[in-house]
């Protein structure tokens, strides 16, 4: 029996698919992009919304402040962060924007980031550099011939006396690799340069300990691997930076401290934030360690299945993967975004499989996610696809 043919643990997979609203006709292999929220968490968010609508003024004036503070505290406890330096935002990109657009850059300053960075964040870096005269400096990382040492060495070579910020992903989006962020934080510290870790995929996928990591800035999503509703994420800021970081929307709390500035930027739907405790409780019911072990093992089986079927390779070594894997496609087509989007659309139209196709490092890749509602058969369905006919 081949590795990917061993079925997942019975308490996961199809057995828990009913916890979600997922269309049973679709093979949902793209949890990493937007997540999937359990019914129970969606119901919790709706209860908060109904409570707000029953007495909107009373809720905003009397309930909102304490309820948001409690959600922040719960999130900080889960990632072992400092509650005084952790604020809620709607997504990791919003948090990264707050950092990048709050720091002072002057012409000639450098912002170092890698070729594996998330496009929304790299676009923000480009915008900030265009506005300030700073220079975007890219550390060129390969997709396949890579290991933690190469990551650290390449980023280290990109840092210069003009570097004012390093931006690195905890888990990369296009290549699905877990980067050695603890070593990168230490590297930046040795150079006297602050570092922003884009941990969009990390909370829930890895056992995150912000206090031990010690990054200057860390952003993470809760709507991906923590089962929260869309619009729940956090930004963690080290003490020395807290009076300098502001939300993208300045409002009544300006100058009153990190929490007051970010908690209220105007009227908004906070159902996703206030249901965070229920999202964390959902994961605790299955056991966070058990979920991580299951998803890592299922992802390894998925990667092995696809690599064997396609006769190609996965990005990076298995030791740098978690709940996500990117596998090179067996196609000889131009590796550009238009081709990737066309293949993605054809994959869904003909096979009802949701899995993003990426153009990276001169090749086309398909990225798969492993979550508790997935099973081996769904990856076998993807493995059977004849990409030359799409």
Global pTM? 0.95
Residue 162 near residue 311, CB atoms below 8 Å: no
CATH class of the region 3-34+287-389: alpha beta
Q: What would the pLDDT profile of 314-356 be if each residue is shown by its tens digit?
A: 999 999 999 999 999 999 888 899 999 999 999 999 999 999 9
Task: Give the model's pLDDT for residue 280.
Answer: 97
Altogether, the residues listed in the chain come to a count of 390
In CATH terms, the fold of domain 42-281 is: 3.40.640
For residue 200, pLDDT over 60 is answered with yes
Please name the residue that has the structure tokens 């959902």.
282
Enter the DSSP assignment of 173.
Answer: T
Q: CA 223, CA 318: separation in Å to the nearest integer?
A: 25
Task: Give the pLDDT of residue 3.
Answer: 45
Token readout for 365 is 């890749």
Please give the Cα distance from 339 to 303 (Å, whole number): 22
Nearest to 24 by CA among 375, 293, 282: 375
Mean of per-residue pLDDT scores for the chain? 95
Which pLDDT does position 207 carry in this prediction? 96
pLDDT recorded at residue 15: 82
DSSP 108: T
Distances (CA, A) of 345 to 42, 92, 350: 28, 26, 9
Whether the pLDDT of residue 4 is over 60: the answer is no
Instruction: List Cβ neighbours of 313 (8 Å cut-off, separation of 6 or more).
Output: 144, 307, 327, 328
C-alpha 330/C-alpha 370 separation (Å) is 22
Q: Are strands 324-328 and 195-199 parallel, antiparallel or unpaired?
A: unpaired
Taking only the tens place, the pLDDT of each residue in 73-92 is 999 999 999 999 999 999 99
Please check whether residue 223 is in contact with residue 230, taking contact to mean a CB–CB distance below 8 angstroms: yes
Identify the residue whose tokens are 């676009």. 123
Q: Span 158-185, mean pLDDT? A: 97
Q: Which of 8-12, 82-86, 104-108, 265-269 has the lowest mean pLDDT?
A: 8-12
Q: How confident is the model at residue 14 (pLDDT cuts 50, 70, 90)?
A: confident
Give the model's pLDDT for residue 179.
97
Q: Reduce the secondary structure of 247-307 to three states and give it as a string.
A: CCCCCCCCCCCHHHHHHCCCCCCCHHHHCHHHHHHHHHHHCHHHHHHHHHHHHHHHHHHHH
Q: At what angle do helices 276-286 and 288-310 cross, to 10 degrees?
A: 70
Three-state DSSP string of 54-96: HCHHHHHHHHHHHHHHHHHHHHHHHCCCCHHHEEEECCHHHHH
10: pLDDT strictly greater than 50: no
Per-residue pLDDT at 13: 86
Q: Is 136 exposed, middle or buried (0-12, 13-18, 19+ CB in 10 A)?
A: middle
239 exposure class (CB count in 10 Å sphere: 0-12, 13-18, 19+): exposed
Poorest-pLDDT segment among 13-17, 188-192, 270-274? 13-17
Locate the DSSP E strands across the chain: 27-28, 86-89, 110-114, 135-139, 163-169, 195-199, 217-221, 233-237, 324-328, 353-354, 357-360, 363-369
* Alpha carbons 209 and 180: distance in angstroms, whole number: 14
**CB burial of residue 66 (10 Å; 0-12, 13-18, 19+):** exposed
Q: How confident is the model at residue 9 (pLDDT cuts 50, 70, 90)?
A: very low
Residue with tokens 């502001």, as numbered in its chain: 246
328 close to 364: Cβ distance less than 8 angstroms: yes
Residue with tokens 């739907």: 269
pLDDT tens across 31-81, in order? Answer: 999 999 999 999 999 999 999 999 999 999 999 999 999 999 999 999 999
Domain boundaries, the chain: 3-34+287-389, 42-281
The mean per-residue pLDDT over the stretch 287-316 comes to 96
């Amino acid at each position: 029996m081949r590795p990917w043919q061993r079925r997942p643990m019975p308490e996961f997979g199809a057995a828990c698919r009913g916890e979600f609203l997922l269309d049973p006709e679709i093979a949902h292999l793209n949890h990493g992009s937007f997540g999937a929220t359990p019914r129970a968490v969606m119901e919790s968010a709706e209860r908060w919304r109904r409570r707000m609508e029953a007495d909107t003024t009373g809720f905003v004036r009397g309930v909102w402040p304490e309820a948001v503070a409690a959600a922040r505290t719960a999130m900080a406890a889960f990632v072992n962060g400092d509650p005084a330096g952790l604020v809620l935002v709607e997504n990791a990109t919003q948090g990264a924007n707050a950092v990048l657009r709050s720091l002072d850059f002057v012409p000639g300053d450098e912002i170092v980031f890698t070729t594996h960075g998330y496009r929304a964040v790299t676009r923000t870096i480009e915008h900030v550099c265009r506005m300030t005269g700073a220079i975007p400096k890219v550390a060129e990382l390969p997709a396949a011939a890579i290991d933690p040492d190469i990551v650290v060495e390449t980023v280290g070579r990109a840092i210069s006396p003009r570097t004012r910020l390093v931006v690195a992903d905890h888990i990369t989006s296009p290549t699905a690799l877990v980067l050695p962020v603890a070593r990168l934080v230490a590297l930046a510290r040795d150079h006297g340069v602050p570092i922003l870790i884009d941990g969009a995929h990390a909370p829930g996928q890895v056992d995150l300990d912000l206090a031990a990591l010690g990054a200057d800035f860390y952003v993470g999503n809760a709507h991906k691997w923590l089962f929260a509703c869309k619009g729940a994420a956090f930004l963690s800021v080290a003490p020395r930076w807290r009076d300098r970081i502001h939300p993208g929307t300045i409002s009544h709390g300006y100058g009153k401290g990190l929490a007051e500035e970010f908690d209220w930027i105007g009227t908004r739907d906070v159902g996703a934030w206030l249901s965070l405790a229920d999202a964390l409780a959902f994961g605790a019911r299955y056991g966070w360690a058990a979920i991580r072990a299951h998803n890592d093992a299922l992802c390894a089986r998925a990667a092995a299945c696809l690599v064997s079927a396609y006769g190609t390779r996965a990005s990076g070594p298995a030791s740098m993967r978690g709940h996500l894997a990117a596998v090179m496609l067996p196609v000889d087509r131009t590796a550009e975004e238009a081709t990737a989007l066309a293949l993605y659309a054809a994959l869904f139209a003909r096979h009802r499989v949701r899995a993003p196709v990426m153009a990276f490092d001169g090749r086309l890749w398909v990225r798969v996610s492993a979550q508790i509602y997935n099973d081996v058969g769904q990856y076998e369905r993807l493995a059977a696809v004849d990409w030359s006919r799409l």
